[in-house]
């Protein structure tokens, strides 16, 4: 790869870096949680505590023995003593009011023997109107007070009203204490979240920056050592993927360089040969036999150029997706006989025997006939080009388990394990002097475009390339 001048980095804003974003996100999340507690949970807690105190006071009021106050024979001293006893039992201030019939209420007795601070008696009036116990929270002076008003009936009429009052100062103090502690804890949590988020974000940002710098090096054409995978999280997986990508790019770059060298050699040799023979043909003293030999050699070089050009054109069409396939019902056995016949001269030069093991019945495949013939030629040519002279080659075709198969087997030395894994990669060739390494790559991609595949089974003394294609039913068209 050619190097390039890296572009200067743009300065990031305060919220532009991953580190600051993560730290601020931690801080914002913590602040939101504290805000919810401070502005929603705490007021709800205060309201719930006040309601509980009111319910407790109402329960105590219903259980108090105040019916004795309606007796005529109760003296004032006994009256006041009963009021104080009930108030102490309820842990509240108890005020007995009279005069509901006249809509004006006045104090008959008070457990604290002092004038009540609340002179409105709105809750007591409501209890008289509704003839039932009512409760609520009122602000009396500077504090919240829980109140319960209980009408006392005589001859079916509410003659008296018992007004219980209990200060909610302790509840308010408790909630204020909790609110203050939440605020202090929230500030501490914010600081911890900010510091922790910053440290975590800095570690993440360092790993991201390492990937960024490595990607810049690779983009500039400088391959580096694989990055360490120090975790199993998303960044660890990204690092592993980056290493795999770089490894693949290294292989592609190496293959590209090898291909350029091979292609240059493949092009240079026939071109120089053609140029030399063209000059020799200008010699008027050449005899007819020599001239004919020169022409035959030139034709062979032209065929080499044509094959290389066709391979490159096929690859470009495959990459561009412009290779049109026309699937049809094709007899692989008959097609194999036709293609094998084309290799009769090559087999003679290679001093090899070709054995055809083809069934009498059709081996019907649903495929593009011309492209399958191209794959067969590639496999046969590969068997002859990369094996010693005299190597036996066997061609078979069969239909099995809903698939049509064509195989080319040879008795050559086999393919090395390391090379077998990359044999179908573009530009890879185990023998650079005998080809550009495009044939098997083209064959593999063509097979996949026809919903087929090519398998390799190789060991010393036997190598088999098998082309598997969808079988065509008798009615035509691919199997369902």
Ranking 73-77, 164-168, 327-331 by mean pLDDT, the lowest is 73-77
Give me the residues paired with residue 165 across strands.
93, 147
The predicted-structure confidence for 80-133, as pLDDT tens digits, reads as follows: 888 888 888 888 888 888 866 556 777 888 887 765 655 667 788 888 888 888
Which tops the pLDDT comparison, 142 or 161?
161
| CA-wise closest residue to 331 among 302, 292, 358, 301 | 358
Q: Is the pLDDT of residue 145 over 60?
A: yes
Q: Is the pLDDT of residue 277 over 80?
A: no
Q: What is the DSSP letter of 70?
A: G
Distance (Å) of CA 404 to CA 28, 366, 442, 463: 64, 9, 20, 20
- 440: tokens are 């098997």
Percent of the chain's residues with pLDDT above 90: 12
When mean pLDDT is compared over 179-193, 292-306, 341-355, 421-435, the highest value belongs to 341-355
Which tops the pLDDT comparison, 355 or 79?
355
- pTM: predicted TM-score of the whole model, two decimal places: 0.45
The CATH number of 13-221 is 3.30.450.20
Ranking 342-346, 434-438, 468-472 by mean pLDDT, the lowest is 434-438
Question: Average pLDDT for residues 298-312, to the nearest whole number?
Answer: 76
3 state SS of 226: coil
Give me the residues paired with residue 163 across strands.
95, 149
pLDDT attached to residue 332: 93
Q: Is the pLDDT of residue 233 over 60?
A: yes
Question: Average pLDDT for residues 121-146, to the nearest whole number?
Answer: 82
CATH 3.30.450.20-classified regions of the chain: 13-221
Question: Average pLDDT for residues 376-396, to the nearest whole number?
Answer: 89
Ranking 32-36, 130-134, 265-269, 331-335 by mean pLDDT, the lowest is 265-269
- Tell me which long-range contacts 315-322 makes (C-beta under 8 A, separation of at least 24): 315/426, 315/438, 315/441, 315/442, 318/442, 318/445, 318/446, 318/449
Phi, psi angle pair for 473, to nearest 5°: -70, 170
Average pLDDT, the chain: 79
Instruction: State the CB neighbour count (10 A cutoff) for residue 290.
Output: 13
pLDDT attached to residue 2: 42
Phi, psi angle pair for 394, to nearest 5°: -125, 135
Dihedral sign of CA atoms 240, 242, 248, 254 in order = negative
Whether the CB-CB separation of 258 and 275 falls below 8 Å is answered with no
Whether the CB-CB separation of 140 and 118 falls below 8 Å is answered with yes
Q: What is the DSSP letter of 139?
A: E
Question: Average pLDDT for residues 163-168, to the nearest whole number?
Answer: 84
pLDDT attached to residue 8: 45
CATH 3.30.565.10-classified regions of the chain: 325-470
Whether the CB-CB separation of 118 and 142 falls below 8 Å is answered with no
323: confidence class by pLDDT, cuts 50, 70, 90: confident
| CA-wise closest residue to 412 among 453, 372, 447, 462 | 462
Which tops the pLDDT comparison, 478 or 470?
470
3: confidence class by pLDDT, cuts 50, 70, 90: very low
- 388: tokens are 């010693």
Q: Is the pLDDT of residue 396 over 90?
A: yes
Question: Average pLDDT for residues 224-241, to the nearest whole number?
Answer: 81
CATH T-level assignment (fold) for domain 234-319: Helix Hairpins (1.10.287)
Question: Average pLDDT for residues 131-153, to the nearest whole number?
Answer: 83
Q: Is the pLDDT of residue 465 over 90?
A: yes
Phi, psi angle pair for 328, to nearest 5°: -155, 170
Q: Is the pLDDT of residue 331 over 80?
A: yes
The predicted-structure confidence for 180-231, as pLDDT tens digits, reads as follows: 887 888 788 778 877 777 787 778 778 888 888 888 888 887 777 888 887 7
Q: Is the pLDDT of residue 408 over 90?
A: yes
Q: Give DSSP secondary structure letters for 300-360.
A: HHHHHHHHHHHHHHHHHHHHHT-----EEEEEHHHHHHHHHHHTHHHHHHHT--EEEE--S
The predicted-structure confidence for 14-57, as pLDDT tens digits, reads as follows: 455 666 777 777 777 877 888 887 777 777 777 888 788 888 88
Distance of alpha carbon 99 from alpha carbon 124, whole angstroms = 11
CATH 1.10.287.130-classified regions of the chain: 234-319
- 131: tokens are 């003839």
- 425: tokens are 């990669």
Question: Average pLDDT for residues 241-258, to the nearest whole number?
Answer: 79
Q: Show the CA angle centred on residue 135, arms to residues 131 and 137, nearest 5°.
A: 145
Asked if CATH classification 3.40.30.10 holds for the domain at 325-470, the reply, yes or no, is: no
pLDDT attached to residue 397: 92
Q: Is the pLDDT of residue 6 over 70?
A: no
pLDDT attached to residue 262: 63
């Amino acid at each position: 790869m050619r190097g390039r001048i890296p572009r200067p980095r743009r300065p990031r804003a305060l919220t532009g870096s991953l580190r600051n974003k993560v730290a601020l996100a931690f801080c914002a999340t913590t602040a939101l949680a504290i805000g919810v507690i401070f502005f929603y949970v705490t007021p709800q807690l205060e309201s719930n505590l006040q309601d509980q105190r009111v319910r407790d006071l109402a329960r105590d009021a219903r259980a108090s023995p105040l019916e004795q106050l309606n007796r005529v024979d109760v003296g004032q001293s006994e009256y006041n003593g009963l009021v104080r006893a009930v108030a102490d039992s309820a842990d509240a201030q108890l005020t007995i009011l009279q005069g509901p019939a006249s809509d004006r209420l006045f104090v008959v007795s008070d457990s604290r023997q002092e004038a009540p601070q609340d002179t409105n008696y709105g809750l007591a009036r409501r209890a008289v109107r509704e003839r039932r116990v009512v409760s609520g929270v009122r602000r009396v002076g500077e504090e919240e007070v829980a109140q319960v008003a209980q009408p006392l009936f005589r001859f079916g009429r509410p003659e008296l009203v018992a007004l219980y009052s209990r200060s909610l100062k302790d509840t308010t103090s408790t909630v204020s204490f909790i609110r203050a502690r939440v605020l202090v804890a929230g500030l501490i949590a914010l600081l911890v979240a900010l510091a922790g988020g910053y440290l975590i974000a800095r570690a993440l940002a360092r790993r991201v920056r390492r990937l960024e710098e490595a990607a810049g090096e690779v983009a500039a054409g400088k391959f580096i050592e694989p990055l360490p995978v120090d975790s199993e999280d998303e960044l660890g997986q990204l690092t592993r993927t980056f290493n795999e990508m770089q490894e693949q790019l290294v292989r592609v770059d190496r293959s590209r360089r090898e291909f350029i060298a091979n292609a240059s050699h493949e092009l240079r040799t026939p071109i120089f040969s053609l140029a030399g023979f063209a000059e020799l043909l200008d010699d008027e003293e050449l005899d007819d036999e020599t001239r004919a030999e020169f022409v035959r050699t030139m034709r062979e070089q032209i065929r080499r150029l044509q094959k290389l050009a066709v391979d490159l054109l096929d690859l470009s069409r495959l990459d561009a997706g412009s290779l049109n396939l026309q699937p049809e019902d094709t007899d692989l056995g008959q097609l194999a006989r036709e293609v094998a016949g084309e290799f009769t001269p090559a087999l003679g030069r290679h001093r090899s025997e070709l054995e055809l093991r083809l069934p009498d019945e059709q081996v019907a495949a649903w495929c593009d006939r011309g492209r399958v013939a191209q794959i067969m030629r590639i496999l046969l040519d590969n068997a002859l080009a990369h094996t010693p002279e005299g190597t036996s080659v066997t061609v078979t075709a069969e239909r099995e388990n809903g698939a049509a198969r064509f195989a080319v087997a040879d008795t050559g030395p086999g393919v090395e394990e390391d090379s077998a894994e990359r044999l179908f990669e573009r530009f890879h060739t185990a023998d650079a002097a005998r080809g550009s390494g495009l044939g098997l790559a083209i064959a593999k991609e063509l097979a996949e475009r026809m919903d087929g595949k090519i398998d390799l089974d190789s060991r010393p003394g036997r190598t088999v390339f098998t082309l598997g294609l969808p079988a065509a039913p008798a009615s035509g068209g691919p199997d369902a």
